[in-house]
Amino acid sequence: MTTLLQLTVNGAGRGAVYALLALGFVIIFRATGVVNFAHGSLVLAGGYVAYRFSDQGFLVAGVAGVLTAGLLAVFIERVLVARSRNADPIALVLLTIGVDVIVTEEVARRLSTDAPFLRPPWAQEVLRFGEITVLVGQLVALGTGLVLIGALLALFRFTGWGLSMRAQAENREAAALMGVRNAQVTAAAWLVAGLLAGVAVLFLATPDFSGSGVSRATHFLALVAFPAAILGGLDSVFGAVVGGFVVGLTEAYAAQYIGFDFAKSAVFLVMLAVLVVRPSGLFGSVEVHRV
């Protein structure tokens, strides 16, 4: 019972981080109609810059990393994706894969064989509640994740940008006819998604989260958020949040009860199972394509 509780807290912490990444996927998909396979490289670029700034203190390093990821996302959208607006969606997906390879390889080249950890002040600290031991890092992740998710949901529901964003996701032309500036809204969406990826890496690349620091392994870890977005429903913000937690908890339980090396497979198995039953994900709209 204590194990289960402990797993649940730690899994929820990971889940919150996956939810931030999945939200990024969903926001970009809704704004652009493209699945952004360069998301992992945003994570890695943010992590790399945060690592470079790490002797300035964690706060400065964190802000630098988050901004890097956000600006890189805007750069990808403005310079590459926006110019090929009318391209085939498959071509745009390949474009994001191309960006992903370039950024990831560049970071890997700069780091050579290093896989440096980011070390927030709470790294490797634990809290004990009776028999339960919880990593502080997971609690901070959970708290940060919940605050950001709440803020985003409020942003979507109550602000002009959120309204524009949702209107445009549903019907780009009708939104433009209502004065929504498509280009600005889309760029803002990529910015937000990039910033979230930058926040996520501040947890992903710590010793608490995994055995890998800023490296290709973290890039792979970011890809685990992809099933989170898919199983929640690619066009559902709420689905991304649920999907993130499903993935985090699945990983934690599978690692404990089945085997550590099975955790990632379990995540993708859950995704496949959901897709077989609900092809558009748990909360996705049935017709994702615009008519």
Partner 1 sequence: MDQTPPVLSITDLVTGYGTSTSVLDHVDLAVRPGTVVAVLGSNGAGKSTLLRAISGTLGMHGGAIRSGSIEFEGQALHKLAPAAITRAGIVQSPEGRQVFGRMTVEENLAVGGLTTPRPRRSASRDRVMDLFPRLAERSKQRAGLLSGGEQQMLAIGRALMAEPKVLLLDEPSLGLAPLLIDQIGQIVTTINSQGTPVVLVEQNAAMALRVAHDAVALEVGRVAIRGTAAELAGSDAVKALYLGGHGGTDHGDDENTGDDTDHQRRTGRPTLSRWTR
Residue from 180, 214, 240, 241 in contact with partner 1 (CB under 8 A): 180
DSSP codes, 116-140? PPP--TTTT-EEEETTEEEEHHHHH
Q: Are residues 43 and 219 in contact, defined by beta-carbon separation less than 8 angstroms?
A: yes
Contact window for partner 1 (CB under 8 A) among 97-105, 128-136, 139-147, 180-188:
180-188
In whole angstroms, what is the distance from residue 271 CA to residue 181 CA?
35
69 near partner 1, judged by CB under 8 A: no
Q: Is 150 exposed, middle or buried (0-12, 13-18, 19+ CB in 10 A)?
A: exposed
H or E element that contains 248: helix 237-257
The whole-angstrom separation of Cα 20 and Cα 232 is 13
181 binds partner 1 (CB under 8 A): yes
Q: Name the residue among 238, 198, 239 with its Cα closest to residue 222.
A: 198
Give yes or no for residue 78 binding partner 1 (CB under 8 A).
no
Number of other residues whose CB lies within 10 A of the CB of residue 125: 14
CB-wise, 116 or 162, nearer to partner 1?
162
Q: Closest distance between partner 1 and the C-beta of residue 165, in Å?
A: 10
Asked if 280 touches partner 1 (CB under 8 A), the answer is no
Residue 213 CA to residue 113 CA, distance in Å, equals: 11
Smallest separation (angstroms) from partner 1 to the CB of 100: 29
Those residues whose C-beta lies under 8 Å from the C-beta of residue 100, and which sit 6 or more positions away, are 37, 38, 39, 40, 41
Contact between 289 and partner 1 per CB under 8 A: no
Q: How far is the CB of 216 from partner 1 (least distance, A)?
A: 39
CB of 184 to partner 1, least distance (A): 9
Q: How far is the CB of 172 from partner 1 (least distance, A)?
A: 7
Q: Based on CB atoms, which residue is closest to partner 1, 183 or 273? A: 183
Report the site for partner 1 in 159-178 (rule: CB under 8 A).
160, 163-164, 166-167, 170-178
Q: Is 88 in the site for partner 1 (CB under 8 A)?
A: no
Which amino acid is present at 286? V
Residues near partner 1 (CB under 8 A), total: 19
Q: Determine contact, residues 234/29, Cβ cutoff 8 Å.
A: yes
CB of 86 to partner 1, least distance (A): 8
Residue 131 or 170: the one with the smaller Cβ distance to partner 1 is: 170
117 or 283: CB nearest partner 1:
283
The contacts of residue 290 (CB under 8 Å, 6+ apart) are 33, 170, 171, 172
Supply the minimum distance, in Å, between the C-beta of residue 204 and partner 1: 32
Q: What does the binding site for partner 1 look like in residue numbers (CB under 8 A)?
A: 160, 163-164, 166-167, 170-182, 285
